[in-house]
Amino acid sequence: MPKREKTPLPTTITETHAPVPEQSQNSQAEDSQFELQPSNVAGTRSGFAGILGRPNAGKSTLLNRLVGEKIAAVSNKPQTTRTRIQGIVTNPEGQIIFVDTPGIHKPGYKLNKRMMQAVQDTLATVDVVLLLRDASAPTGNGDRYVLNLVKEAARPTFLLLNKTDKLEDKSALLPLLEWYKAEYDFLEYIPLSALKGDNLNLLTRKILEHLPEGPYLFEEDALTDQTERTLVAELVREQLLNQLSEELPFATAVLTERWETQPNGVLKLSCVIYVERESQRAIVLGRGGDRIKQIATQARKNIEKMMETRVFLELFVKVQQHWRNDEKMLDLMGIETNQD
Ligand code: GDP
Ligand code: MG
């Protein structure tokens, strides 16, 4: 399981401070029992920062890098991220809850509509919006579309120019900066490399400056809101994305169905891979089951690294027609509908 230092990571984040309004409703007597956290005394800052951008901009890479663990699947295919994933960064100055979002695109299936709703909700609710742009790619309609969403929302927003490691000549950033500056009054303009980690300390420092003063919102050692089951399913899905070509991965979904620690300490896991058609099932299995074996082997290695234990992973492939338009299946997969 991802953890920070030696403290085991809680699977689901627990709020150290129950919702503030509830506390203020407490009677005086109860108030006096409320222990101040050290972070309260030190005058920390805390809040939410939403990472938005086109597919492939590097949003999930940035989240993983900031948190220091792989909590979001990364691939070079668009639409890898389907839900809002929270990654938590805690330091003595405060706590930032980063919210990774699906890449912004035009929705077709109900799945995609829910994905775009997640983007809108994030835009509306976070303290700081981070617009992440691949600075190594030319400006396209997609970039204008994303910029328009940011303009319409009119929230405090940083412009982050990513993939600077791919730019031989850093002066290529200047016209891009000028263009964005003319379009919207961003709070900060930060070039960075999510992959290499360049400028990420500056990023966290600047975000903290713009967050409200307040205590840590989650446990100090919490890293994510994702359950272990979801993290496992995502590591399997990441291999589907990496090992299958083109369109097929978009028609797949993964659920962890069985989770059992055996007496010998081996963690036994079963995941079901959903596809939409029999022909897709055949592709995922591969000739003589070759493909699924490779997917399982690589996913198992990544799961073992994350869980720090030996893992036995079983994968099943099931056909579930039209799951991308099936509200029940989407609920089951935790792909949110209108939230909050
Ligand atoms: P998302 O769709 O915005 O979440 O993008 P991902 O995080 O899944 O990354 C898309 C692709 O861009 C992956 O192949 C990443 O390895 C790559 N990538 C992300 N950030 C960087 C970066 O700073 N530099 C380089 N060279 N590649 C990056
Ligand atoms: Mg992503």
Please tell me the pTM assigned to this model. Answer: 0.79
Domain final position from 182, 210, 238: 210
Minimum-distance ligand 1 atom for the alpha carbon of 78: 2
Q: Is 220 left (phi over 0), alpha (psi -120 to 50) or beta?
A: alpha
Same domain membership, residue 235 and residue 198: no
First to last CA, the chain: 28
CA 39, 23, 84, 146 torsion-angle sign = negative
Same domain membership, residue 191 and residue 315: no
Higher pLDDT, 12 or 328: 328
Same domain membership, residue 186 and residue 293: no
SS3 96: strand
- pLDDT grade, residue 247 (50/70/90)? low
Best mutation site among 52, 54, 56 for ligand 1, i.e. most ligand atoms within 8 A of its Cβ? Answer: 56
Indicate whether 9 belongs to any domain. Answer: no
**Which ligand minimizes its atom distance to the CA of 61?**
1
Calpha distance 281→209 (Å, rounded) = 50
**pLDDT at residue 248 is higher than 80:** no
Indicate whether 6 belongs to any domain. Answer: no
Indicate whether 14 belongs to any domain. Answer: no
Could you tell me which of 259, 291, 299 has the C-alpha nearest to residue 275? 291
Tell me the per-residue pLDDT of 99-150, one tens digit each, with 9 for 90 and over.
998 888 777 778 778 888 888 888 899 999 999 999 999 999 989 989 999 9
Please list, residue by residue across 285-310, b when 16 or more beta carbons sit within 10 angstroms of its beta carbon and e when fewer do. beeeeebbeebbebbbebbeebbeee
Same domain membership, residue 48 and residue 179: yes
Same domain membership, residue 260 and residue 204: no
Q: Report the DSSP pairing between strands 267-275 and 253-261.
A: antiparallel
**Which pair of tokens denotes residue 124?**
């509306």
Same domain membership, residue 168 and residue 26: yes
- pLDDT grade, residue 337 (50/70/90)? low
**Which pair of tokens denotes residue 116?**
């775009």
Please tell me the distance between residue 323's alpha carbon and the centre of ligand 1 in angstroms: 28
Q: Is 58 left (phi over 0), alpha (psi -120 to 50) or beta?
A: left
Could you tell me which of 127, 71, 121 has the C-alpha nearest to residue 95? 127
Determine the pLDDT at residue 115: 80
Domain final position from 210, 244, 275: 210
Same domain membership, residue 126 and residue 50: yes
Please tell me the distance between residue 56's alpha carbon and the centre of ligand 1 in angstroms: 6
Please tell me the distance between residue 78's alpha carbon and the centre of ligand 2 in angstroms: 8
Could you tell me the CATH number of the domain that includes residue 161? 3.40.50.300
Across the beta sheet with 267-275, the strand order is: 253-261, 267-275, 311-319
Measured in whole angstroms, how far is the alpha carbon of residue 119 from the centre of its chain? 12
Minimum-distance ligand 1 atom for the alpha carbon of 64: 7
Return the minimum-mean-pLDDT range out of 78-87, 146-155, 277-286, 303-312.
78-87
Calpha distance 49→249 (Å, rounded) = 29
Please tell me the distance between residue 56's alpha carbon and the centre of ligand 2 in angstroms: 7
Indicate whether 80 belongs to any domain. Answer: yes
60 CB within 6 A, ligand 1: yes
Higher pLDDT, 76 or 210: 210
Domain that holds residue 304: 228-332
**Which ligand minimizes its atom distance to the CA of 62?**
1
DSSP H helical segments within the chain, as ranges? 20-25, 28-33, 38-41, 59-67, 110-125, 141-153, 173-183, 200-210, 228-243, 278-285, 290-307, 327-332
**Which ligand minimizes its atom distance to the CA of 194?**
1
CB-count exposure of residue 25 (10 Å: 0-12, 13-18, 19+): exposed
Same domain membership, residue 177 and residue 41: yes
Calpha distance 170→300 (Å, rounded) = 39
Measured in whole angstroms, how far is the alpha carbon of residue 87 from the centre of its chain? 7
Same domain membership, residue 61 and residue 203: yes
Same domain membership, residue 190 and residue 296: no
Best mutation site among 65, 74, 199 for ligand 1, i.e. most ligand atoms within 8 A of its Cβ? Answer: 74
Nearest alpha carbon, ligand 1 atom 20 = 58
Please tell me the distance between residue 73's alpha carbon and the centre of ligand 2 in angstroms: 7
Calpha distance 227→233 (Å, rounded) = 10
SS3 162: strand
Same domain membership, residue 238 and residue 188: no
Please tell me the distance between residue 237's alpha carbon and the centre of ligand 2 in angstroms: 12
**pLDDT at residue 183 is higher than 90:** yes
Q: Among 79-93, 214-228, 321-335, which range has the highest average pLDDT?
A: 214-228
Give the pLDDT mean for 209-222: 93
Determine the pLDDT at residue 206: 98
Q: Name the domain count of the chain.
A: 2
Give the pLDDT mean for 211-231: 91
Could you tell me which of 179, 117, 127, 184 has the C-alpha nearest to residue 150? 184
**Which ligand minimizes its atom distance to the CA of 64?**
1
**pLDDT at residue 7 is higher than 50:** no
Determine the pLDDT at residue 246: 67
> Quick check: 214 and 44 in contact, CB under 8 A?
yes
